[in-house]
Amino acid sequence: MDLLNILLHFNRETILEWLPAVIWTLSTIIIYKIYSFYGKEIRDHIIKFAVYKLKIKRAKKTICELHRYTAILVLLLGGLYVIDIAPFTVEKATALSNVFKTLLILVLANHTIILLKQFLTPLLLNLEQDREIEEMSKDYAEIIKKTIFVFVFFSALLAIMQLWSIDITWLVTSTAVIGLVLGLAAQSTLSNLIGGFAICADKAYQEGDLLKLEDNTIATVKKIGIKSTWLETYSASTIIIPNSVMSNTRIENLSLPYNKNLARIKVNVSYDSDVAQVKRVLIDIAKNTKKVLKHPRPFVYLLELGDYALNFILVCPIPNMKHRLEIIEKIHCTIIKRFREENIKIPFPTQISHVEFTQGKYSELKEEVCRNEIKR
């Protein structure tokens, strides 16, 4: 009888000790079920609002994944609280708590990755909706995204190792040594990658722009890759230049600051010409040349008072740089024809030299010239 009383007393105390933990366990399960059931309707409303009102692309997949992992988050947080109030021994409570905290860190890291996948690419590209995404921007956005993802998972790994009291000194040291070795081995590649990031950040040029290099080569940008920039010349040849060289080279972008492509024609006329007449003729030639755009209108500037001529520049907006040489040739031919009709002269380079002689030297030179004339 005394033994039975002891057992009943023991069971009563045990039940009272475990009762709060059991109640919170059941409450956590109920909250999870309610969230899973009613949360679907809330999720669907959020999806409709994000897709149709905010016009966020791929919002449905992102919100569904967040909803699923948030439900798991409810279970993990509830489990942590149950472990905290349950009458476990210190060792068991610590071990179970670390397990739940490990799972919690992984879920939070995955939450972060899901949100970054949705919002990081538009943020990096800084693009408006329906605008075409350049290959360069997509490539570098992917590199930055993957770098951030690796950083998030690496941070989660360090947090988990610290949670389980694992010494991370060896990991940090190994990572530093591996990074140093890779940096020395791939110095050229890293230099090109950093140069590409600089080009992408500065936006000094983009695909389709016309560039003038240091050696006066004029080429169109066809592709800006991760390691190099591809240029196409007017002779239909391709020049591949490492990004590290492009980022440290003086380059003239002929497509900036105007949005349209421009053809620039330099014209020299004699000092006897009427400036207003020359401008009128050049503008008329540009307006009547095919493939020269009407808007914005072509314009002429008296660029320089040269040594032997007045130097004008005719700037014509054109639809595409592929037609630049063809348009320039037509304008040149028309300029020659119209200038002849308008009696506008294109001067040859001339130079007048003054030579001074003493009287004796002049007499000797004159006698020498006379003797040469007699011999002829």
| More confidently predicted of 134 and 314 | 314
Domains, the chain, ordered by start: 2-164 (no CATH), 167-256 (2.30.30.60), 261-342 (3.30.70.100)
Please write the tens of the pLDDT for every residue from 90-147. Answer: 888 888 899 999 999 988 888 888 777 767 666 555 543 444 444 445 656 666 777 7
State both tokens at 160.
Answer: 């988990």
The whole-number average pLDDT for the span 200-226 is 80
Taking the C-alpha atoms of residue 114 and residue 108, their distance in angstroms, rounded to an integer, is 10
pTM here is 0.49
Nearest to 139 by CA among 92, 217, 193: 193
pLDDT given for residue 131 in this prediction: 41
State both tokens at 132.
Answer: 């075409």
Are the C-beta atoms of residues 308 and 350 closer than 8 Å to each other?
yes
| More confidently predicted of 278 and 221 | 278
3-state SS assignment for residue 339: helix
CB atoms within 10 A of CB 282: 26
Look up residue 322 and give its DSSP letter.
G
pLDDT given for residue 301 in this prediction: 92
Taking the C-alpha atoms of residue 166 and residue 103, their distance in angstroms, rounded to an integer, is 17
Q: Is residue 214 exposed (0-12), middle (13-18) or buried (19+ Cβ within 10 Å)?
A: exposed
Given pLDDT bands bounded at 50, 70 and 90, which one contains residue 337? very high
